[in-house]
Amino acid sequence: MSSSKLLTPAALAMAGQAAGPSLSRFRILLMATGAGLSVASLYYSQPMLGVLAGDIGASGQAAGLVPTLTQLGYALGILLLAPLGDRHDRRSIMLIKAGLLVLALLLAGLSPSLAVLLPASLLIGVSATLAQDIVPAAATLAPETQRGKVVGSVMTGLLTGILLSRVVSGVVAEQYGWRAMFFIAAATILLTGLAIRRFLPRFQPSTSLAYHALLGSLFTLWRKHGALRRAAIAQGLLSVGFSAFWSTLAIMLHNNPFHMGSAASGAFGLAGAAGALAAPLAGHMADRQGPEVVTRAGAGLATLAFVMLSLAPLCSVHVQLILLAAGAVLFDLGVQASLIAHQAVIYRIDPAARSRLNALLFVCMFIGMSLGSVLASLLLARYGWSAVTMFAALASLLALVVRCCTHSHP
C-alpha cells in the first residue's frame, strides 16, 4: 500500500471538511452495507434452529447454544478486540476480521455435527465485531459538522442488518436449506472485505499503548467521563426494552389469540426496520440541535410506545396487530435515534479513543439486551405479554430519567 493512502486523523478531518473522496456517498454506503452484513451474521441462525437441529441430530435445547455462543463471542470480541482500532490501522483490522468471518461462516455451513458448529458459532461472533470497527472509522472520516449524520447513516445499515437478518435467513433456509444461508453470508462478507480493501483508506493509529494498557484504559475512560457513563447506562436500559420485545414476540404471536407462525414475527421485523431507516434524521438533528435533545426524545418515544403496547391486549385482535406494528416502528425509532445521539456524545469525548469508547457503549448495550431477553422470557411465562411491555416501558422510562438528570452536560 502506497504512503499516499496513509491518512492521519488531521488529514482525514481536513478531507472530510472539504467534502472530498474520503467522505463520498459511495464510501458511506459501503460502510453502512458492511456494518449491516457483518452484524447480520449474528442472527442468521436463530430462525433456522429447528431445521438445523434435526439435520445434524441435535436436540432443540442443544441447538439453542448456537445463538448463545454467537452472542457470547460478539461480546468478547467487542471487549477484547474492538479497542485495537485505536492501536492499529483500522482497515487492516477490518480485513483480518472479514477473512476470519468468511472462514467461520464456511465452517458453520459445512459442519457435520454440533461439535463443529458450536466453535464456528463462537468464531462468527468474535469476527462479526468487524461492524464495531466500521462505525468508528466512519466517525473518523466524517467532518465534525456532519459526524452525527454520517454515523447515523452507517448505523442504519447496521440496525437494518439486525432487523432483516432473521427474515432473510428464514426464507433462504426454507427454500434452499440452512447451510445455504451460511454460504451466502460468507460470499457477502468476502465481497465486503474486497470492497473495504479497494475503497477505504488506511488509518493512522491514535495511541501507542500496549495491549494490556489499552484494555486497562477502558476502566480509566469509564471512571473519567461521566458523559460516557450516562450514555452507556441510558442506552443499556433502552436495549433492555428492545430485546424484551423482540425476544418474546414470536412466542407471543404463536399463542392465543393470534396463532401465527415465524413468518409473522419476521413481518414485524420489517416494521421495526422502517423505524431504523429514520436514524440518519436523528443524526442530522444531533448535529444541529445537540445530541441531548435527541437522547431525551428517543427515550421518551420508546417509553410511550411500550406503554401503548402494554394496553394492546385490551383491544380486539385486529387492533392489537395494528398497535404492535405501530409500536415496533415507534420504539425502534426511539431506541435507534438515542443510539445515534449517544454515539455523537461519546465520539467527541476523546477522538483518539473512539474505538474504546464505542466498545464500552456496545458492551453496555449487550448487557442490557441479554438481561432484557432473560427477564422478558420469565415475565411472559408467568404474567403474560402485558408484563413484558410494562417492563420494557419501565426500562425506557429509567433511561429517560438518566438523560433528564444530565442537565446541561450530555
Residue 16's H or E segment, with its range, is: helix 9-17
Q: C-alpha angle with apex 149: 193 to 228, nearest 5 degrees?
A: 90
Q: Per CATH, the architecture of 210-409 is what? A: Up-down Bundle (1.20)
Give CA–CA dist 367/370, Å, rounded: 5
Helices assigned H by DSSP within 41-146: 49-56, 60-63, 65-80, 90-110, 114-127, 131-141
pLDDT of 340 reads: 87
CB proximity list for 12: less than 8 A, separation 6 or greater: 22, 140, 141, 201, 203
Degrees, nearest 5: CA angle 326-157-171: 70
Q: Cα separations (Å) of 299 from 116, 266, 270, 347?
A: 42, 25, 21, 20
Exposed, middle or buried: residue 206 (CB in 10 Å: 0-12, 13-18, 19+)? buried
Contact 368, 278 (CB under 8 A): no
What rounded mean pLDDT belongs to the chain? 85
Higher pLDDT, 376 or 95: 95
So what's the pLDDT on residue 5? 44
More confident residue, 357 or 170: 357
For residue 4, is pLDDT > 70?
A: no
Per-residue pLDDT at 118: 93
Count of Cβ atoms closer than 10 Å to residue 308 Cβ: 17
Residues 151-177, mean pLDDT to the nearest whole number: 84
- The per-residue pLDDT for range 69-93, each reduced to its tens digit, is 888 889 889 989 989 999 999 999 9
Question: pLDDT at residue 402 above 60?
Answer: yes
What pLDDT is stored for residue 160 in this prediction?
A: 84
Instruction: Give the pLDDT mean for 15-31.
Output: 68
- Whole-number pLDDT of residue 67: 81
Which residues is 6 bridged to in the sheet?
202
pTM exceeding 0.75: yes
Q: 208: burial class by Cβ within 10 Å (0-12, 13-18, 19+)?
A: exposed
Q: Which helix (H) or strand (E) holds 211?
A: helix 211-224
What is the homologous superfamily of the domain 24-208 according to CATH? Answer: MFS general substrate transporter like domains (1.20.1250.20)
Gap between the Cα atoms of 59 and 233, Å rounded: 37
Rounded CA separation 207/352 (Å): 7
Confidence band (pLDDT; 50, 70, 90) for 275?
low
Overall average pLDDT of the 156-170 stretch = 83
- The 10s digit of each residue's pLDDT in 123-150 is 999 999 999 899 999 989 998 888 888 8
**CATH 1.20.1250.20 residue ranges in the chain?**
24-208, 210-409
Report helix, strand or coil for 6. strand
CA distances from 297 to 95, 274, 291, 340 (A): 37, 18, 10, 12
CA-based angle 205:208:213, to the nearest 5?
120
pLDDT of residue 186: 98
Q: How far is the C-alpha of 328 from the C-alpha of 347, rounded, in Å? A: 28
Q: Based on C-alpha coordinates, what's the Rg of the chain?
A: 21
Cis before 21 (ω within 30):
no
Query: 37 and 147 in contact (C-beta within 8 Å)?
Result: no
Q: What is the pLDDT of residue 153?
A: 87
Cβ-contact 395, 212 below 8 angstroms? no
Can you name the residues that pair with 203 across neighbouring β-strands?
7
Sign of CA dihedral 29, 12, 215, 361: negative
Sign of the CA dihedral running 83, 89, 95, 99? negative
CA 145 to chain centre: 24
